[in-house]
Amino acid sequence: MTARTIADLIRQGRRDTLAGRDAELGLLRQVTAPGGPIVAYVHGPAGIGKTALISALDACLEDEGIRRLHVAAGAVEPTPTAILTALGRAIDQEARTVAELAKALANVKNLTVVMVDDVDTWRLAVSWLRSDLLPALPASTRLVLAGNVTPPPAWSIQYGQYFIDIKLGALPRADSDAAVTAAGLSAEMAERIWLLSGGHPLGLRMAIHAARTGSLGTARDAGELANAILHAIGDSDLRRAVEACAIVRRANRAIMSAILKAEEPIPLSLLEAVEALPFAKRDAEGIYIAEPVRRAIVDWMSGVEPERYQLWRKTAADWIVSRLRAAGRSGRWRYMADLLHLLEQPALRNAFFPPEDEAPPVEPAALTISTRSLRSSDLVAAPTSAPAWSSGLSVCRIAFRWRGDRRAKCWPFIYSHARTIRIPGSAQSTHYSPRGRLIWPRIPSKGKSCSSAKCRQGPMNPIRLAVPLASLI
């Protein structure tokens, strides 16, 4: 018998920390069973334990020798080309088409489980994923998806018995108490933590952390708990670093150094200290603060220190625009997502970052723009095939700038997965967006068609969008 290695201890730890999820893990493991589901979709609110469940599944599959492919959706541009490239890279192959990816996967006869976390950020591409990509892959491929929102009904309609929907909820009282006991806290504290967290895994971790550091106090909800933890941090540099992370969509060393006005790049130890907090996580893109906690920090800063809050937002916007100008075509979408995340106007920000209960499923569609003179009563949002820009996507929505009853001018505000955008009245006025690129259409004058080359315009450089957006921040 060989001695256990550190890797063995890590795998065991990933399984042991999954308190109260044995039933859900058992359902997920059905993807490897003969005749089991082809697609498993795990969903639930932020901090409910989706990533931990996927990590535990990965440990189990590794023990069984099953090949796993990991994709962090938030780090991949939500277009078919980028998704194919990411999946090909996961198996050390170059895949530019669905056929090439299928051929690469077919080279291995054993089961392959593809795990995609934060799949909500691919919402505009999910119909392609469901209808074009997955059906063409080898029968030995399984797909495990994790996201915040409920999967669109089209998944269960199309895949029937081969689709399984796993909704995660709060942990039962017994598992909550067991976690508190394992942390060395008293039964009285277990009661207090249960009343505060209600078994929500993120709230449970935060409450245990606060109880250990003596900052639990009289907190009544996740927002107050986050502020209690933040203000109990004795290290002022760490506290300011957390606040800087909460300002932006994704935090890395460069943008945090810019926000904090550091003459030298902030030390890596500071980033590690932020990541160690119970409400922070890190991936290839940077450090993220859990949304309920991020919102609480932002609300506190904007109410108590509005001058510093606005200064930090403006500093972040300037830094993002400067990087956007220097970024290559393949990297611009990340900076556009970062910039849009800073918007605070609900009509605009919610279009790109819709709340979970307002995020509808997305299917390819066409947008229609009237050619007649636009008045204030006409300025109704176009049909919103609204995905989350939460890690880098946009929305089929058009924002108009208008002056009284004069003809409106379009903002360069379309980033669409729709195949066409039509302006009625002219057969030649179709704007094609096969790759979901930015389009800058012009509204023709009243009574005139839009058939001229001057009126029709193609893909727009995102840099032209960054400047007017930054002016709103």
**Longest distance between any two alpha carbons in the chain, whole Å:** 84
Q: Residue 221's pLDDT band (boundaries 50, 70, 90)?
A: confident
Q: What is the CA radius of gyration of the chain?
A: 24
| 43 occurs within a structural domain | yes
Q: 315 with 418, same domain?
A: no
Q: Residue 137's pLDDT band (boundaries 50, 70, 90)?
A: very high
CB atoms within 10 A of CB 346: 9
| 26 occurs within a structural domain | yes
- Is the confidence at residue 29, as pLDDT, over 60? yes
Give the highest mean pLDDT range of 98-102, 121-125, 285-289. 98-102
Q: Is 314 helix (H, G, I), strand (E, B) or coil?
A: helix
| 69 occurs within a structural domain | yes
pLDDT the model gives residue 113: 94
Contact 30, 36 (CB under 8 A): yes
- Is the confidence at residue 34, as pLDDT, over 50? yes
- Is the confidence at residue 424, as pLDDT, over 50? no
Q: 152 with 14, same domain?
A: yes
Q: 40 with 118, same domain?
A: yes
Q: 131 with 73, same domain?
A: yes
pTM: 0.71
| 428 occurs within a structural domain | yes
Quote the CA–CA distance of 7 and 305 in Å, as a whole number: 45
> Poorest-confidence range of 211-215, 323-327, 419-423?
419-423
86-117: string of b/e by CB count within 10 Å (b at 16+)?
Answer: bbbebbeeebeebeebbebbeeeeebbbbbbb
Q: Residue 39's pLDDT band (boundaries 50, 70, 90)?
A: very high
- Is the confidence at residue 262, as pLDDT, over 50? yes
Give the highest mean pLDDT range of 303-307, 344-348, 361-365, 433-437. 303-307
- Domain extent, residue 430, equals 328-473
| 1 occurs within a structural domain | no
Total number of domains in the chain = 3
Q: 318 with 397, same domain?
A: no
Q: 150 with 24, same domain?
A: yes
Choose the final residue of a domain: 275, 309, 327.
327
Q: 161 with 41, same domain?
A: yes
Which residues, including other chains, have CB under 8 Å from residue 78's CB and lie 6 or more apart?
Answer: 121, 122, 123, 124, 125, 387, 392, 393, 436
What DSSP string describes 142-161? EEEEEESSPPPHHHHHHHGG
Inter-helix orientation angle 98-106/80-90, to 10°: 20
Q: Is 113 helix (H, G, I), strand (E, B) or coil?
A: strand
More confident residue, 471 or 459: 471
Q: 150 with 255, same domain?
A: no
| 343 occurs within a structural domain | yes
| 281 occurs within a structural domain | yes
Which residues in 266-371 belong to E strands, given as ranges? 280-283, 286-289, 367-368
- Is the confidence at residue 456, as pLDDT, over 50? no
Choose the final residue of a domain: 126, 141, 167.
167
Choose the final residue of a domain: 108, 136, 167.
167
> Poorest-confidence range of 236-245, 286-295, 339-348, 431-440?
431-440
Q: Residue 30's pLDDT band (boundaries 50, 70, 90)?
A: very high
Q: 144 with 15, same domain?
A: yes
Give the highest mean pLDDT range of 28-32, 91-95, 330-334. 28-32
395-423: string of b/e by CB count within 10 Å (b at 16+)?
Answer: bbbbbbeeeeeeebebebbbbbbbeebbb
Q: Residue 355's pLDDT band (boundaries 50, 70, 90)?
A: low
Measured CA distances, 442 to 219, 375, 416, 418 (Å): 53, 16, 16, 18
Quote the CA–CA distance of 225 and 221 in Å, as a whole number: 6
- Is the confidence at residue 218, as pLDDT, over 60? yes
- Is the confidence at residue 431, as pLDDT, over 50? no
Q: 218 with 105, same domain?
A: no
| 183 occurs within a structural domain | yes
Q: 305 with 332, same domain?
A: no
Instruction: Specify the CATH number for the domain of residue 151.
Output: 3.40.50.300
Q: 281 with 416, same domain?
A: no
The pLDDT tens digits of the residues spanning 47-68 come to 888 988 998 999 899 888 899 9
